[in-house]
């Protein structure tokens, strides 16, 4: 198949995404409005024979300080056929185009999963003192084609990003935790939760915890809980304006793209979460909780409600997003994987992020600049 790449309209881009079973929420056109500090462009790949649109990519451009050169970033994209035998015929026109646009370096995140580990396997790994990381465990599922993709990218001159761990911050997580929903009943999903999760869900029900959906006007209350969480977990919170922009941008594109949930007890909100929906893929994207009321297990109640809602939407996967690959109980991120493993889902490892230096000198300068920040 011979391909032509060109800039497309947001409408064409969105229509293509809507024709797919799912795609990353970072590859929908509205994500460009969320990332307002970046310039953006919608790319389309066309089949020369039929003239049909066969792939899309949302590119975000970040300008280097003081010069008109850009880092071009395709978060969790582009949305193309990654297993195509002629992968360079997809990638090379993209690099040529981005270079013309003034990019000195390209960063992308192929949405390709290499390995999966079942919750039971991870549990055994946690109990084994010799196992320190997910990689030390034999995977339950391996996608051989993913290794071919990595091999082709290396041969083309792409470099794999150094994001070994959870990929929190500006890089996308390499390891995520997902609960598969396709061809399963809700009873099966619930049965797969570990004992602690089932007990906590029951505890929350008994205590009268209610889970409700919020709207744009409830975002300041979300922010209150989120900032409490940031202090407790030592991270820098995003401002309220970010979530307001996210809500407006995503829900203008599709009224059911972003949701907000609160778990409350006796009228007091104890935990909150944002949920994103693209086709059959549903993400729990941000979570927050107060330091009080933990004994009534609001977070478990809220996750169970979100999972049921995802199921009702016909989702094939409920994605709890990033985890660290560390199975060491002394690791500060261990609690996160422990919480997510309780859902009985699977850890998945993506190919990670890849860089292509179009200008080696500027690419190196950016690396040095980023490492000093």
Q: Is pLDDT at 33 greater than 90 in this prediction?
A: yes
Across residues 301-325, what is the average pLDDT? 97
CA dihedral 88, 91, 94, 100 (to 10 degrees): -60
| Host H or E run for residue 42 | strand 39-47
pLDDT the model gives residue 371: 66
* Angle of helix 334-341 versus helix 119-127 axis, rounded to 10: 140
Return the half-sphere exposure (C-beta side, CA atoms, 13 A cut-off) of residue 242.
10
What was the pLDDT predicted at 370? 66
Residues 316, 21 contacting (CB under 8 angstroms): yes
> How far is Cα 282 from Cα 143, in angstroms, rounded to an integer?
22
Lowest mean pLDDT among 28-32, 33-37, 266-270, 361-365: 361-365
User: Taking 90 as the threshold, does the pLDDT of residue 244 lie above it?
Assistant: yes
Note the pTM of the prediction, 2 decimals: 0.94
Over residues 284-306, mean pLDDT: 97
pLDDT over threshold 90, residue 293: yes
Instruction: Inform me whether the pLDDT recorded for 362 exceeds 90.
Output: no
Average pLDDT over residues 151-160: 96
Looking at the chain, the number of H-run helices and the number of E-run strands are 12, 16
Summarize pLDDT for 58-103 with one digit per residue, the tens: 999 998 888 889 999 999 999 999 999 999 999 999 999 999 999 9
Local confidence band at 20 (pLDDT 50, 70, 90 cut-offs) = very high
Query: What pLDDT shows up at residue 66?
Result: 82
Q: Please give the pLDDT value at position 167.
A: 38
Residues 158-190 have pLDDT tens digits of 999 875 443 334 578 999 999 999 999 999 999
pLDDT tier, 366 (very low <50, low <70, confident <90, very high otherwise): confident
Span 273-293, average pLDDT: 97
Would you state the structure tokens that stand for residue 209, as one six-digit string? 């915890």
- Model pLDDT for residues 318-339, shown as the tens digit of each residue: 999 999 999 999 988 898 899 9
The helix or strand, by DSSP H or E, that contains position 233, with its residue range, turns out to be helix 219-233
Distances (CA, A) of 138 to 120, 262, 282, 341, 347: 12, 38, 27, 17, 12
Please report the pLDDT score of residue 166 as a whole number: 39
Please, are residues 202 and 304 in contact by the beta-carbon 8 Å criterion?
no
Provide the percentage of residues in the chain whose pLDDT is more than 70: 96
């Amino acid at each position: 198949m011979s391909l032509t790449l060109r800039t497309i309209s947001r409408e064409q881009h969105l229509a293509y995404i809507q024709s797919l079973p799912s795609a990353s929420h970072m590859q929908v056109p509205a994500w460009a409005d969320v990332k307002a500090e970046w310039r953006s462009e919608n790319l389309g790949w066309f089949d020369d024979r039929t003239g049909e649109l066969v792939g899309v990519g949302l590119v975000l451009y970040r300008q280097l300080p003081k010069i008109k050169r850009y880092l071009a970033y395709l978060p969790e994209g582009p949305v193309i056929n990654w297993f195509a035998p002629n992968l360079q015929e997809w990638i090379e026109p993209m690099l040529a185009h981005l270079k013309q646009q003034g990019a000195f370096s390209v960063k992308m995140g192929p949405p390709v999963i290499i390995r999966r580990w079942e919750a039971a396997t991870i549990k055994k790994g946690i109990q084994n003192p010799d196992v320190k990381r997910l990689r030390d465990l034999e995977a339950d599922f391996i996608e051989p084609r993913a290794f071919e993709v990595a091999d082709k990218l290396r041969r083309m001159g792409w470099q794999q990003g150094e994001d070994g761990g959870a990929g929190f911050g500006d890089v996308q997580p390499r390891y995520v935790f997902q609960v598969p929903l396709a061809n399963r009943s809700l009873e099966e999903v619930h049965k797969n939760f570990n004992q602690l999760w089932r007990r906590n869900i029951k505890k929350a029900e008994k205590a009268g915890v209610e889970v409700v959906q919020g709207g744009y006007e409830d975002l300041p209350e979300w922010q209150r809980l989120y900032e409490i969480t940031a202090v407790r977990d030592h991270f820098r919170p995003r401002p309220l304006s970010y979530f307001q922009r996210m809500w407006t941008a995503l829900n203008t594109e599709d009224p059911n793209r972003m949701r907000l949930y609160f778990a409350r007890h006796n009228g007091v909100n104890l935990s909150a979460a944002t949920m994103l929906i693209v086709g059959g893929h549903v993400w729990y994207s941000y979570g927050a909780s107060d330091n009080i009321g933990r004994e009534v297990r609001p977070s478990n109640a809220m996750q169970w409600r979100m999972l049921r809602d995802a199921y009702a939407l016909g989702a094939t996967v409920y994605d709890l997003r990033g985890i660290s690959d560390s199975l060491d109980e002394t690791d500060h991120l261990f609690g996160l994987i422990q919480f997510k493993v309780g859902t009985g889902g699977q850890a998945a490892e993506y190919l990670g992020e890849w860089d292509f230096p179009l200008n080696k000198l500027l690419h190196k300068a950016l690396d040095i600049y980023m490492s000093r920040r």
